[in-house]
Structure 1
Amino acid sequence: MVSVTDFGDFGNIDMDRLIDSMDQQLSKSEELQKAMSALVGRGEDEGHLVVVEYAHEGLRTLDIRPKAMRLSAVELSERIKAAIEEATADLQRQADELMTEMFGEAGNPLRMMENPDRALRHVRKAEASYERAFEDVMGELDRIRRELDL
């Protein structure tokens, strides 16, 4: 008969701790999703004639002051684009701050995308850890199979 101690480290897994950790991650994920949906980036042109709000669903508001109607179509278009760029940059900044607050500087997924080489190193490190764990599990299962003469 095989006892729990025959499973090596697997027999010592604290299931309550594992479940609590999973619950915390799920809660953090839900909290992040809710917080991200509440972010609103704001921007305006240099003359304050065009004001924009940009959120996760896209352009939320575009306010054009009456005085802006005196501008040429090209100039008004440029001011609208500048306000949208400022609003999207503001939204990105807020998302970056939120991710850093929740995951820390090193774990911020947005920062990882800024440096693909660094992100690739993290992926390779995780892959190596996975491969080691897989080999350990397979070795342990093979040892159990031999002990049980299967």
Structure 2
Amino acid sequence: MQEFGDFANIDIDKLLKGADEQLALLERFQRDVGSYVGHAQDENGMVTVEYDHQGVRELELHPKAMRLASGELADLIKTAIADASADFQKQFSTGMRELFGDDDDPMKYVNDPDAALSKLKEAESLHEQAFTDVMGQLNQIRRRMDL
């Protein structure tokens, strides 16, 4: 009888249950991401911004803001948008950590290109090893069948 290696020991029910759990988590995250809203306001309350997954959701200017120089107002708006975006990103990252856990959170690689590159090299190495193993197994089969 032929050996199937580790494939013969796979618990299909456990595998399917794990996949179902991951899909449920992804559905919950997809539903929850719509509720994440970043908020920011300048220190004088002249500019208020709400930011969500689609971008700037709300931009409110206090009537006194219209008395500011255009450059000063533009700077306040840009800063408030950046702060609201950062607040949204923080909420989004927290949601990702809740979904994937600290170790598997893909968002941690966004601001750490060296870690991302390291993870890619690790994946490449695993892929190359798997390819080598499969080719070795195919070679053995070919020899057994005298092909």
User: What TM-score do you get using the length of structure 1 for normalisation?
Assistant: 0.83
User: What TM-score do you get using the length of structure 2 for normalisation?
Assistant: 0.85
Determine helix, strand or coil for the equivalent of 1:114.
coil
Query: For structure 1, which segment, 103-112 or 59-68, has the greater mean C-alpha deviation from structure 2 after superposition?
Result: 103-112
Determine helix, strand or coil for the equivalent of 2:43.
coil
Query: For structure 1, which segment, 13-22 or 54-63, has the greater mean C-alpha deviation from structure 2 after superposition?
Result: 13-22
Matched, 1:24 2:21: yes
- Please name the residue that 1:55 is paired with: 52
- Please name the residue that 1:81 is paired with: 78
**Contact residue 50 and residue 65 of structure 1 kept, 8 A:** yes
How far does residue 78 in structure 1 lie from its aligned partner after superposition?
Answer: 1.9
**Which stretches of structure 1, 4 residues or longer, exceed 4 Å deviation after superposition?**
none
**Contact residue 55 and residue 91 of structure 1 kept, 8 A:** yes
Unaligned ranges ≥5, structure 2: none
Q: What does 1:87-102 align with in structure 2 at a 5 Å threshold?
A: 87-102=84-99
Query: Partners of 2:110 and 2:142 in 1: how far apart?
Result: 44
Unaligned ranges ≥5, structure 1: none
**Contact residue 37 and residue 88 of structure 2 kept, 8 A:** yes
- Please name the residue that 2:11 is paired with: 14
Query: For structure 1, which segment, 139-148 or 20-29, has the greater mean C-alpha deviation from structure 2 after superposition?
Result: 139-148
1:66–1:28 Cα change, 3 Å: same
Match for residue 136 of structure 1 among 128, 133, 137: 133
Query: Partners of 1:90 and 1:133 in 2: how far apart?
Result: 41
How far does residue 56 in structure 1 lie from its aligned partner after superposition?
Answer: 0.8
Query: Partners of 2:90 and 2:124 in 1: how far apart?
Result: 30
- Please name the residue that 1:124 is paired with: 121
Query: For structure 1, which segment, 29-38 or 57-66, has the greater mean C-alpha deviation from structure 2 after superposition?
Result: 29-38
Amino acid at match of 1:106: D
**Contact residue 41 and residue 55 of structure 1 kept, 8 A:** yes
Task: Give the aligned length.
Answer: 147
How far does residue 149 in structure 1 lie from its aligned partner after superposition?
Answer: 4.7
Instruction: Give the alignment's Cα RMSD to 1 decimal.
Output: 2.0
